[in-house]
Amino acid sequence: MKKGKKKVLSVIAIVLAVVLCALLWNQFVYFEGNYKPAADTAESFRMALSLSPFSLPQFEKGYTFRVADKTASTPEELQTIYREAGATEMYCRIATKRHVTDEDVTDGKPDSNANVHTFDQGIALCKIAAKLNIPINPEIMCAYTYMDMETQQAPRFEEYPEIYALQNGKDWSELTLDEICTVLEAYGAFVGEAILETGCTVNDWNLGNETNFGFAGVSLGLKTAVNPKLEKVPSFMRYILPTFGVGWLEKNLWQYDAKAYAAVKSGILSAYEKLGIDASGVRFSTHIATVVATPKSCAAFFNCMKKNGYAMETAGISYYPSAPSLYLNKEILLKKTVTAINKKCGLSVFIGEFSYPSGEMDGPFAGWSKKMKGYNMDEAGQAALYADVIAWGKTHGLAGIRYWAPDFEGWYAMSMFTFADKVGTAKEILTNAQV
């Protein structure tokens, strides 16, 4: 072998070794040092234990929930139990689909989300919040029935004639960014006014759901006139770009989405003005998934939003310790993500989705059974991890936490209840909070 070739191979080997060492260091080493969080959150910590988007359909089917010596047979009764367990707010997720339909079908295909995030159901939850006098955090997805870090949908406004007219007969994929923002601002005004008119209190608005790879139809894998490159990006790139292509995401996707978020925010704020409601102190956020991200890319996302016109008061993340992710040590993933966003963005962090299983997961989430070190996948481990994340977060810049879908039977071992014959019986994670 020639000396020149040997030299090149040696350099490559050294580079690979350095990269590998860096990856291992980031995976398993965490130093807190003299870290100070971006904000003191201990007193204002948001315990967002709430009725899930799936609760209303379950109650309609006759479900009841038992917590210690109490039984909830209505949504109001269950939320009251959550409040007694420390809940400080409710939650609703709203898609652009307006009304519940007879079948769980979208465009002729089965869709488990077809009838759980409609506008009507969101408004129903807001009315419950108003009745119970508890703040609610609406998540305005700007997707037809659903979106997350793997699934992207564009919004549809055919059920909102005045808003739909702003598309001037164009398909959503044909709209320019300016045209999209015009429609989204009008929609923000409409949905904001409808929510506030229920009499509920909204301190925090969340826009989108796990928006790492798009928002409002400007997304990886979707056709859009905003950037035609996005349509042809293969799905596997979602697992590569957050580590090696943050610059590409900033240039080709995030800068556009920031303007779309800002348009929805502007519309919502105009609703406050129209109704004569004081909007000072109202906070905005969006949340991204951490299973496909690194702490560095999370911070880059929120800084890109601010740079391009969408300044948030809170950064949101999903945190599922039992799900496969780029980090093997999920405790370090959480701590590095929260501290990175605190330090580099000056924002406190809200965990918009969290849960941990009390046993093996089933169904489509069968792969989400990765035991976190120190926490068994049983009721005690589930309860302990939840409590420990909260305790650490209150002193480290965590603004709050939402345990995802606590009352949903289809969430399998992640739920806070065990189910039999439409009766949910509380696990330790919830009964401990009643003491």
DSSP structure string for 221-252: TS--SS-GGGGG--GGGGGTHHHH-HHHHIII
All structural domains of the chain, each given as residue ranges with its CATH number in brackets, are 30-434 (3.20.20.80)
- Residues with Cβ < 8 Å from 410, sequence gap 6 or more? 54, 112, 363
pLDDT at 435: 43
DSSP helix/strand/coil, 14: helix
CA 134 remoteness from chain centre:
21
Q: What SS3 class is residue 144?
A: coil
> From start to end of 35-102, where are the E strands?
46-47, 64-67, 70-72, 90-94
What does the alpha-carbon distance between residue 408 and residue 286 come to, in Å, rounded to a whole number? 23
- Beta carbons of 8 and 15 less than 8 angstroms apart: no
User: Left (φ > 0), alpha (ψ -120 to 50) or beta: where does 179 sit?
Assistant: alpha
Cα 434 to Cα 67, 85, 86, 218, 353: the distances in Å are: 8, 5, 9, 44, 22
pLDDT beneath 50, residues of the chain: 435
Q: How far apart are CA 349 and CA 397, in angstroms?
A: 6
- 270-284 burial code (b ≥16 CB/10 A, e <16): bbbeeeeeeeeebbb
* Angstrom distance (rounded) from CA 56 to CA 123: 12
CA distance linking residue 240 with residue 220, whole number of Å? 13
Alpha-carbon dihedral sign for residues 77, 147, 314, 371: positive
Predicted pLDDT of residue 50: 98
Question: What are the tokens at 395?
Answer: 């002193």
Instruction: Give the pair of three-digit tokens for residue 58.
Output: 């379950």
What's the pLDDT score for residue 38?
A: 73
Instruction: Yes or no: say if 92 and 138 are a contact pair by the CB < 8 Å rule.
Output: yes
> How far apart (Å, rounded) are the C-alpha atoms in residues 162 and 181?
15
At 399, is the secondary structure helix, strand, or coil?
Answer: strand
Distance between CA atoms of residues 339 and 395, nearest Å: 11
CB 301 within 8 A of CB 261: no
**CA–CA distance, 334 with 343 (Å, rounded to integer):** 14
